[in-house]
């Protein structure tokens, strides 16, 4: 008897809340990448992905002339974009570097890996995203 009373009490408000939650989910879910639909054939031809293994360069200012050792010395870079641009992309067009003047974790010595891909590349990611920098 108590469960029936709980269910029927304020039933209109409960129904409005559930409907409103469904409308909000329906509006937000596709915009947050939650859509599970496949890309159209035109989009599938446009999207292409490649991976490169590239050395990590050190970017520093003239006032910090000391040498550093980066571990690992190479990272894997994944790039995506138009098929023609990705197929024509060469490894030397992607700059992978660590900026020694940028703040980094002093306890672990890890620094953020920065990427500078060409403008045609729509998405780029380095793995690992952080590397260890030790002074020589």
| pLDDT exceeds cutoff 80 at 109 | no
At residue 56, the pLDDT reads: 92
Tokens of 94: 């992607």
Give residue 44's pLDDT band: very low, low, confident or very high (50, 70, 90).
low
At residue 121, the pLDDT reads: 83
- Contacts with 44 (C-beta within 8 Å, 6 or more apart), sequence order: 38
CA angle 76, 37, 83 (to 5 degrees): 45
At residue 77, the pLDDT reads: 92
């Amino acid at each position: 008897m108590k469960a029936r009373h709980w269910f029927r009490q304020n039933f209109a408000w409960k129904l409005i809340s559930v409907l409103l939650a469904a409308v909000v989910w329906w509006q937000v879910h596709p915009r947050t990448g939650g859509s599970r639909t496949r890309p159209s054939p035109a989009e599938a031809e446009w999207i292409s992905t490649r991976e490169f293994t590239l050395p990590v360069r050190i970017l520093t200012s003239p006032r910090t002339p000391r040498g550093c050792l980066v571990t690992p010395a190479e990272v894997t870079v994944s790039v995506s974009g138009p098929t023609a641009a990705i197929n024509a992309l060469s490894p030397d067009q992607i700059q992978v570097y660590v900026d020694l003047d940028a703040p980094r974790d002093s306890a672990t010595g890890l620094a953020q890996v920065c990427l500078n891909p060409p403008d045609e590349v729509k998405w780029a990611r380095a793995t690992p995203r952080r590397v260890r920098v030790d002074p020589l």
